[in-house]
Every structure is written in C-alpha cells, then in structure tokens.
C-alpha cells in the first residue's frame, strides 16, 4: 500500500466488540508506512486497552480531552490538523448519531468536528441497530457531507444473531484509506482493464495457457478505481481476489474475453489490454479426458481472435487504447510495430528476460511508447507504482482528447 507511506492516519475506536480488530488494523496501517495516531472513547477502553494500541502504533493513545499534559497545546486541535485521513473503526450507532448531530463531547467526536481531512466510518453493530431508521438516516447525512462509509458485512454477530453488522474486512478498510488519499482525477470516467491469462482447453481437464498472474492488470484496475473511475476488470483465471470497489468479470478463454471486453469497451473512455491472451487454441476440444497411450498426441492449433486489433479497428472517437507487449527480443522494434498496426495510443513494453520483469513478479521493468515515437523507460518498480505511471500517461491523453480540447 505505497499510497499510505508517509501519511498520518488518525484511527478512532468506539465501544463495540469489533474494537479488538482495530489492533490488527493499526498494525496493517503502520506496516504500510503510515504514521498512526489512535483516539479511543471511554467505552472502547472497556474492550481493548490503550497500551495495546500504543505498542502497535508507537504513539501515545489519545483518550482524555482534559489531560493536562497532552492538552497543554490544545492537542485535539493539533490531532485534527495533522491527520491526512480519519478512520473510525468500529463506528457504533452512538458515534454515528453524534457525528450526524455535530455533538463533540469527547476526544474523538471533538477531533471529528475539527478536522478537514477525509473521514471514513466503518459501522459495526447489531443488525437491527444497523437497520434502524435512525442509524440509516444518520449514515445518509454523513454521506451527503462527504464521509466515506465502508459498509459492514453480513454474518454471525457477537450477540448470536445473523445479518449485516460485522466490521468490514480490514483489507477493505485499508483500501478505503488509499482511495480517500488519492486525488479523484478520473472521477466520472469509465475504464476497461483486462488481466491474467486465458485457458484454451483441448479436453475437460487440460488446457494451453501461459504463466501470467494478472498482477499488472489488477494493479492498473485498482489504481484507476482509486482515482475515481468506474472500472470494469475482465480477467482470465487467476488466484487473485477481486480488487475492492472494482467491477470484476471472470472469463476463461480468449473468445470469452473478446466478447466481454468488446461489450464493455463501447462506453469506455480508455481500454487497457494488460491480459496475456493466448494467440492460439486447440481446433477441437475432446468431450472426455484424452487417455494416455503409446502413440504421440497431436493437437492442431488455430488462431484466436486478436482482441486488441479488433478494439483498434473499432475505436470510438477520443477513446484511449493501451496495449502491452511482452517480448524476449527486439523489444522496441516489436512494440513499435504493434503500436502502429493495432492503432494504439500507448504500448507498455517489457523484456521478459530482465530480472524483475517476468511473469508472476511483484515488480516490472517497462518502456512506455506513444504514437509520436516517444519512449519513456521506467526503472524496476513495484507493479503498484508502475500502474500509477501508466495511469498518469493515460490521464494526460484523456485531457487532450476530451470534448472541447484540441484532439489529435
């Protein structure tokens, strides 16, 4: 979570059983490189001690609005000013009501009233309390004021009931913090991203594929979503979980991917084809598992549809089309030819023989080529940072091609 490195996050704990999960949340945020300042209500201290949170955050926990030491310089105002974002997790029905009404009767609610930083609330409570009209009205008020609400999960609750009320998964809360700290430069845009490999079966249990993990495409989808875009991710089979806040479409074969991507691309301002699509598929698929025998097995392969070329031929006016070229030789020559032939705006080329640039890596080493012949060579970067650099280039092109500007 490089987006959080160097940021100051204020984590507010209120008095619900889910307060024990805040210890792991603070640990995750600290591990991401953020400085974490914890504020606890009196009720929260009945569930977990300030000492635990202090040990994990490395900072004194703020609890007492009338502490003569911490408040000698109006500490609650300093805490409000220094926060880059505020996360209330868990957020009880009581604190949501106070926030909606503007009540400031303890350290946390006073900070919440004083801060100008983005605020994220993560409700956790009994299902009936969450469904109550008062709670839902209070959440509506907070949303109108720009507060980000991370909805609770449904499941078994501490009271023994079932329903919505469990604190959201911590990874979702961390991702919400990343989104809150990302400028919404793509708000209103629709972006399609493809990722992962495709599987081309020749019998019910065997297929032709490649080692793509999907990590680069997933990183691009997540970064575009953080910037406020509506993102449709079309992914072949991968072991990766659905990225939070991204509409994810799972497909298997190249023909499945072509159908999904073409349908979604019609309304997209940008299409990023990061998938490693199989160029060939078996001509025939056996209806039953092919049994081993003493004879050699010959499988005839036929061409798969060239999804990227099809998108280039049907490209909408002003639409940005980005391709990827994974090569083992003549990187720039092959990538330049692909850029020209398929009517692309950008192509991201990487040499698979370079350390840190192959399949299944958490890093990438790429060169970004554009239609004018420009080449931007990036060093070995994490895929998260590589995605940011690519999205920066896409945004620059979108500004040029949007209605009212001087397009190419």
Find out whether 138 and 99 touch, Cβ atoms under 8 Å. Answer: yes
Q: Which two tokens stand for residue 269?
A: 């301002």
Q: Which two tokens stand for residue 266?
A: 């019609």
Find out whether 99 and 112 touch, Cβ atoms under 8 Å. Answer: yes
Q: How many CB atoms lie within 10 A of CB 237?
A: 16
Give the separation between CA 395 and CA 393, rounded to whole angstroms. Answer: 5
Q: Is the pLDDT of residue 407 over 50?
A: no
Report the candidate in 315, 310, 367, 306 with the shortest Cα–Cα distance to residue 345. 315
Find out whether 86 and 129 touch, Cβ atoms under 8 Å. Answer: no
**Considering 159, 178, 361, 380, which one is annotated as catalytic?**
159
Residue 406 pLDDT:
47
Q: Is the pLDDT of residue 161 over 90?
A: no
Give the separation between CA 342 and CA 235, rounded to whole angstroms. Answer: 21
> In order of start, what are the domains of the chain with their CATH numbers?
2-180 (3.40.50.1950), 190-401 (3.40.50.10300)
Find out whether 38 and 13 touch, Cβ atoms under 8 Å. Answer: yes
Residue 336: exposure state from Cβ atoms within 10 A (0-12, 13-18, ≥19) = middle
Helix or strand (DSSP H, E) at 38: strand 35-40
Residue 150 pLDDT:
96
Report the candidate in 280, 187, 196 with the shortest Cα–Cα distance to residue 233. 196
* Entry pTM: 0.89
Query: pLDDT per residue over 80-104, tens digit each?
Result: 888 999 999 999 999 999 999 999 9
Residue 264 pLDDT:
97
Give the separation between CA 44 and CA 29, rounded to whole angstroms. Answer: 19
- 159 in active site: yes
353 vs 338, residue with greater confidence: 338
pLDDT, mean of residues 380-389? 95
Query: pLDDT per residue over 238-291, tens digit each?
Result: 999 999 999 999 999 999 999 999 999 999 999 999 999 999 999 999 999 999
């Amino acid at each position: 979570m490089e987006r959080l490195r160097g940021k100051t996050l204020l984590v507010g704990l209120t008095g619900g059983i889910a307060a024990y999960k805040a210890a792991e949340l603070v640990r995750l945020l600290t591990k991401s490189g953020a400085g974490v300042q914890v504020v606890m209500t009196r009720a929260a201290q009945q569930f977990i001690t300030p000492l635990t949170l202090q040990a994990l955050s490395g900072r004194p926990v703020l609890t007492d609005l009338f502490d003569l030491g911490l408040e000698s310089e109006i500490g609650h105002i300093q805490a409000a000013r220094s926060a880059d974002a505020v996360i209330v997790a868990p957020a009880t029905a009581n604190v949501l009501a106070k926030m909606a009404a503007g009540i400031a009767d303890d350290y946390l609610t006073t900070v919440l009233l004083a801060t100008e930083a983005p605020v994220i609330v993560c409700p956790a409570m009994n299902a009936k309390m969450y469904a109550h009209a008062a709670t839902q009205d209070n959440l509506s008020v907070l949303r109108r004021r720009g507060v980000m609400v991370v909805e609770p999960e449904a499941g078994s609750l501490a009271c023994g009931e079932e329903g919505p009320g469990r604190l959201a998964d911590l990874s979702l809360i961390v991702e919400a913090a990343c989104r809150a700290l990302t400028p919404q430069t793509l708000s209103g845009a629709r972006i399609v991203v493809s990722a992962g490999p495709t599987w081309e079966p020749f019998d019910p249990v065997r297929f032709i594929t490649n080692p793509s993990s999907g990590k680069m495409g997933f990183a691009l989808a997540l970064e575009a979503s953080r910037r406020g875009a509506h993102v449709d991710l079309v992914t072949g089979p991968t072991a990766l979980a659905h990225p939070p806040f991204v509409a994810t479409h799972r497909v298997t074969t190249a023909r499945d991917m072509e159908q999904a991507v073409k349908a979604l691309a019609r309304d997209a301002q940008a299409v990023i084809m990061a998938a490693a699509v199989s160029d060939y598929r078996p001509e025939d698929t056996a209806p039953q598992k092919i049994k081993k025998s003493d004879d050699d097995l010959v499988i005839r392969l036929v061409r798969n549809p060239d999804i990227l070329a099809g998108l280039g031929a049907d490209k909408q006016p002003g639409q940005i089309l980005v391709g990827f070229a994974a090569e083992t030789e003549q990187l720039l020559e092959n990538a330049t030819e692909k850029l020209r032939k398929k009517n692309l705006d950008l192509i991201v080329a990487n040499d698979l023989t370079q350390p840190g640039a192959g399949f299944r890596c958490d890093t990438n080493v790429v060169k970004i080529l554009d239609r004018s012949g420009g080449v931007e060579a990036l060093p070995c970067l994490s895929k998260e940072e590589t995605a940011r650099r690519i999205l920066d280039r896409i945004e620059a092109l979108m500004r040029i091609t949007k209605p009212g500007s001087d397009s190419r």
